[in-house]
Structure 1
Amino acid sequence: MATTPEKRGSSPASDPEVTSENEKARITVYNTDVDTSAVDEKKLLWKMDLALIPWLSFLYLLSFLDRTSIGKYLYNLEQDLHMSDKQYLLSLTIFFFSYAFFEVPSNVFLKRLRPSLWLSFLMFFWGVVMTLQGVVHNYPQLLGLRWLLGMFEAGLFPGVNYYLSCWYKRSEFGLRAAIFFSAATVSGAFGGLLAAAISNMAGIGGRPAWAWIFILEGLLTVIAGAMSFWIIQDFPDTAKFLTEAERTVVIRRLQQDNQFSAAGEKFKFKYVIMSMKDWKTWLGMLVYMGADMPLYAFSLFLPSIINQLGFTATPANLLTVPVYALACVVTCGVGFLADRWSMRGYFNIGFLCLGATGYIILVASRNPALSYFAVYLAACSWVSNNVEGSYKRSVSLAMVIGFGNINGAVSSNVYRASDKPWYPLGHGLVLMYIGIGIITSILFLVFLNRENARRERGERDEYIDDQPETHLPENLKNGRYSTMDDAKRDKGDKWSGYRYTV
């Protein structure tokens, strides 16, 4: 990660430890009249972690469990609903269209409403939809409910990523996001065990095993959604579990980290335009696409792939458990090390290459044991940290994640029944997406380093009226502002003192 020495009116931006005393003095301090001397920052961080991360991770576990439970179709779902293989694949696909479409508006609503209200509303109703999937009688009913499930689930993942970025410094965000995201891998392991257990209920109430999977998982989500209204905390400036002094410290920490919108920001449509004009948004879409399509392909079809290697339904679901357990450990470990070493882009590239190795084996292998080993490699396969302005960040995150998720529609259609048992088309296309992820990750890394270097050289410095050292003719092209605070608020991460996390 680039260092940020003080120069020509620019501020070192990514870490308060390297921020100069002069620059700190220029920052408009939040709640200047509040005494924060008694607040222990380490204890405060731990308090935040306990209040935010466990419950949010549990919600994402339920979200991923609900959307991928249809992948446990080895319990005769297709036969009972008289669906063809193409119809089954379309029922997987339609989820991703509504899921991707509603992510951007959902993040705007999250910012304008309280997270406790918006997220609990979404959870409650996707739980209801999930439960209703267990009582469908035909393919059209299943198709309609999968569309609604995608619509209600759309807001959780991008919403929580944005929400966490409003609480933590950039050097702290990666580990928390990794723990939250690891709930997807836990849900894979837990889902396999749950599906195997619930399959024993087949015939109770005249319902088959797959129906009970939908019903019981949906009811659990309904209960969690109702509880979330009282458990989910709102943004730092209004969080009830913190004292006034603690809230002040949280926001000041973010301001020192150059998240200068932390103290509050009014919605302006220009923030949406800024996000859409930012190259990081569009390149980030491709990076996320390269990871997200393989993730969904892996989650939806892992039991089926293992089944085709010679295992029946329940053993196939159980054999997914150790794969996801490994992925969970690796995800959290990488999040911790990437934060510690500030090398998220490099880790991203490295693990995409590892995932590619796994899929190369899956494409080439005709040995069940070797293919099962390759699944472990595939299982071990950074935009919010590089966008400032709370509304801009919420839109950019939603656009990146939404575009990545629309590629889940591709993943739903590449593992065809006609390709059993080795699925060369599916594995080959996943490998292609991983290749896209590797190439675009390298480009993202190069462009961020190049932009950081330009700012180090002073090429992005603004003309600041109250700072004579910036009164150079060449700085006028980067904008003229009365104060540095004005430049920060107007330009967001385009401000000359902001440094991108690589």
Structure 2
Amino acid sequence: MALERTHDVKIECYEHESSPSPGTQDGELLAPDVRPAAEKQLVRTLDMRLLPALILIYLINGIDRAAVASARLKGLQQDLLLTDIQYEIVLAILYVSYIPAQLPSNMILNKISRPSYYMSACVILWGVTSALTGVAHNYAGILSTRLFVGLPEAAFYPGGTYLLSRWYTRKELALRATIFTGGGLISIAFGSLIAAGILSSMEGQMGIRAWRWLFYFEGSITIVIGILTVFLLPDWPHNTRWLSPAQRRLAQVRLTEDAGEADEDNGSDSIFKGLLMAFRDPTVFIFGAVACFQLVGGGFVGFFPTIVATLGFSTTVTLLLAAPPWIIATIFSCLNAWHADRTGERYLHVTVPYWMLCLGYVIAVSTMSVPGRYISTFIMAAGSSSYPLMIVWLASAVPRPPAKRSVAIAIMNGCAGVGALSFIWKSEWGPEYRPSMFISMGTLGLGAVLATVIRCILARQNKRLEREEVDSLTSSEKERIENAARLEGLTYEDALQRRRGFRYLL
């Protein structure tokens, strides 16, 4: 995981193969008097274009994921003659294709020049496959459609996260990634509201069951969004068409300064070299294990409407009650990520929500009263919202080269998908679901332990980098630092701290 560093990087000498040399017009935004305003404008442009596009796609992605659970409340399981085990397999089968497809998808994404085209095509394909779920008439039919929907979906979340990491600096990324993932959290809320509307009003229309209409509507909306995606998403910082040459250069320089080296693969950084680098880095797999435990611990998400149904209300009221916890969870996750960016801290912002989730489980285990159980769903939803910070922590821990980072993100998200395959929310354990919650609390504890291990590893790496910096200083450089410290009234250590290079975020 060692990161080769070149100190005192001369950003003005950085050149990308597709960028003109400094001194020409594309470097006009790098001047000290114009750069701060230009950089704010660039980030604002990305926030207004890249983020909304990803949120919109994730919104419809989450609605599709929640559709099966919502459709179950209106007869899907009975119409298709599914046993409880078969229903759980239908939920899990998506991950059988989704998990292994993420790795080659991100490797492809890293090498193609127009990610907007690639991701748009994938969104359209999953919209078509999702709509076909409404055509299923038996177990084999719905199993096939859910299996194939996982292939195009595999391009989206790890690909979207990687795309964000190619545009935002490390201290901008946590909030943006969480806002992006917030689309998924909100989708659970809106998915429930949309499902409530369709399931309550479309039953028997044109002789078709309401749960089938649910898939037809959501699949059609996904296809339209996929067509729009090609115009909304950017490509890479060096070739995005809706940015000026000067803005493209500024985007590249920002990321170069952030890690002290260019955010580009060099001639020797092939996709297979990135694959090998990621597989040889044990920290990547520790991140993956934490993600897996986190998804097991937060596995209630896929069964949320069923859990809310234990409150004893009708289908429509249950789906309406399932929405507010995820709205609160989205707000909490954004505030948590904002503070993580502001402080540069990662470990506590990732693990404290684990203990919140455990608190929600403790309340749910302790009572079956409607107020107590419903309050617990808010705490559980908020506590399950730190996953985007975990994947952002990985992206900052594997900053270069991009070929390795793209694979590492896919590996971690794939491991998280394995966690989502856990069959711990069994109907025979309902309506209390106490064994499910006890197992979830145990896996969250294991995740917190491994997150502590990651923090210790990165702290040790930072100490090594600091020793290397001190050892590389010449006697004249040390003397200048001592003089600066004396003139500014600082200690030598404080003055040295001010000229520190790259450090891993803890």
- Asked if TM exceeds 0.5, the reply is yes
The answer to whether the 8 A contact 2:6-2:260 is kept is: no
Match of 1:398 among 396, 410, 413: 410
Give me the whole-angstrom Cα distance separating, in 2, the residues matched to 1:436 and 1:389.
30
Q: Distance in 1 between matches of 2:471 and 2:6?
A: 10
- 1:372-427 superposed Cα distances (whole Å, 9 cap, x missing partner): 111111111221111121110000000001111121111xx222221221112222
Residue 131 of structure 1: how far off its partner (Å):
0.3
Cα distance in 2 between the residues matched to 1:304 and 1:376: 15
Q: Give the structure 2 partner of residue 198 of structure 1.
A: 198
Q: State the partner residue of 2:503.
A: 499
Runs (4 or more) in structure 1 with deviation over 3 Å come to 9-12, 22-31, 263-267, 459-462
Separation in 1 of the partners of 2:444 and 2:404?
Answer: 28
Distance 1:393 1:10, change over 3 A: closer
Matched, 1:172 2:165: no
CA contact (8 A) 1:82 1:138 kept: yes
Matches of 2:443 and 2:315 in 1, distance apart?
Answer: 29
Alpha carbons 2:11, 2:253 under 8 Å: kept:
no
Matched, 1:62 2:60: yes
Q: Which residue of 2 aligns with 1:15?
A: none
Q: CA deviation at 1:35?
A: 2.6
In the alignment, residue 98 of structure 2 is paired with which amino acid? Y
Counterpart CA distance in 1 for 2:469 and 2:292 is 32
Q: Which residue of 2 aligns with 1:253?
A: 254
Deviation at 1:459, TM superposition (A): 8.5
Tell whether the 8 Å contact from 1:24 to 1:256 is kept in structure 2 after alignment: no
Partner of 1:384: 395
Match of 2:81, SS state, is: coil
Please tell me the residue identity of whatever aligns with 1:286: A
**What TM-score, normalized by structure 2, do the two folds share?**
0.85
Comparing 389-398 and 309-318, the one that deviates more: 309-318
Query: Which residue of structure 2 lines up, in the alignment, with residue 485 of structure 1?
Result: none
Structure 1 residues 453 and 368, CA gap change in structure 2 (3 angstroms): same
Alignment-derived partner of residue 186 in structure 2: 186
Q: What's the counterpart of residue 420 of structure 2?
A: 408
Q: Deviations over 1:207-245 (max 9, x none)?
A: 212111111011100111112122211011001111001
Q: Residue 360 of structure 1: CA displacement?
A: 2.0
Q: Distance in 2 between matches of 1:32 and 1:355?
A: 51
Provide the secondary structure at the position in 2 that maps to 1:316: helix
Specify the alignment match of 2:14 in structure 1. Answer: 28
Match of 2:312 in 1: 310
Question: For the residues of structure 2 that align with 1:48 and 1:259, how far apart are their CA atoms?
Answer: 22
Q: Deviation of residue 357 (structure 1)?
A: 1.0
Deviation at 1:361, TM superposition (A): 2.0
Contact 2:77 2:87 in 1 (8 A): yes
Provide closer, same or farther for how the CA distance between residues 468 and 25 of structure 1 changes in structure 2, counting only shifts above 3 A. farther
Distance of 2:182 and 2:260 partners within structure 1: 26
Aligned equivalent of 1:230: 231
* Cross-structure match for 2:339: 337
Inter-partner Cα distance in structure 2 for 1:85 and 1:335: 38
Corresponding position of 2:446 = 436
* Counterparts of 1:155 and 1:219, CA distance in 2: 19
> CA 1:203/1:370 → structure 2, altered by over 3 Å: closer, same or farther?
same
Matched, 1:240 2:241: yes
1:10: Cα distance to partner? 6.0
CA RMSD after TM alignment? 2.2
Shift of 1:66: 0.8
Q: Deviation of residue 71 (structure 1)?
A: 1.1
Corresponding residue SS for 1:237: coil
Match status 1:105 vs 2:104: yes
Q: 1:103 to 1:10 in 2, by over 3 A?
A: closer
Hey, what does 2:157 align to over in structure 1? 157
Find the aligned partners of 1:310 and 1:205 in 2 and give their Cα distance: 31
CA contact 1:259–1:389 (8 Å) conserved in 2: no
Tell me: CA distance 1:207–1:461, structure 2 relative to 1, closer, same or farther (3 Å). Answer: farther
Unaligned runs of 5+ in 1: 1-8, 13-21, 470-495
The alpha carbon displacement at 1:439 in A equals 1.2
Per-residue deviation, residues 322-370 of structure 1 (Å, max 9, x unmatched)? 1001001011111111000111211111111111111122233333321
**Partners of 2:148 and 2:443 in 1: CA distance:** 27
Contact 1:455 1:461 (C-alpha < 8 Å) held by counterparts: no
Question: 367-376 vs 328-337, which deviates more?
Answer: 367-376
What is the aligned partner in structure 1 of residue 478 from structure 2?
Answer: none
**Bigger shift: 373-382 or 136-145?**
373-382
Report the identity percentage. 31
Cα pair 1:99 1:406 within 8 Å, conserved = no
Are 1:57 and 1:179, in contact at CA under 8 Å, matched by a contact in 2?
yes
The secondary structure found in structure 1 opposite 2:78 is helix
> Structure 2 counterpart of 1:428, which letter?
F
8 A contact 2:293–2:419 mirrored in 1: no
Taking the aligned partners of 1:468 and 1:342, their CA distance within structure 2 comes to 30
State the Cα distance separating 1:261 from its structure 2 match. 3.8
Query: Could you tell me how far apart the structure 1 residues matched to 2:13 and 2:353 are?
Result: 39
Alpha-carbon distance in structure 2 between the residues aligned to 1:259 and 1:145: 46
1:497 CA drift (Å) = 5.2
1:284 to 274, 282, 287: 287
SS in 2 for 1:240: coil
Secondary structure of 1:380's partner?
A: helix
Match of 2:146 in 1: 146
Q: Secondary structure at the match of 1:366?
A: coil
Inter-CA distance 124–263: structure 2 relative to 1 (3 Å threshold): same
C-alpha distance in 2, partners of 1:194/1:26? 52
Distance 1:184 1:391 in 2: 26
**Structure 2: which 5+ runs fail to align?**
384-392, 476-499
1:461–1:500 Cα change, 3 Å: farther
For residues 426 and 95 of structure 1, the distance between their equivalents in structure 2, rounded to whole angstroms, comes to: 22
1:279 is displaced (CA, Å) by 2.2
Q: Distance in 2 between matches of 1:134 and 1:94?
A: 17
Report the secondary structure of 2:421's partner residue.
helix
Secondary structure at 1:110's aligned position in 2?
helix
1:472-483 pair list within 5 angstroms: none
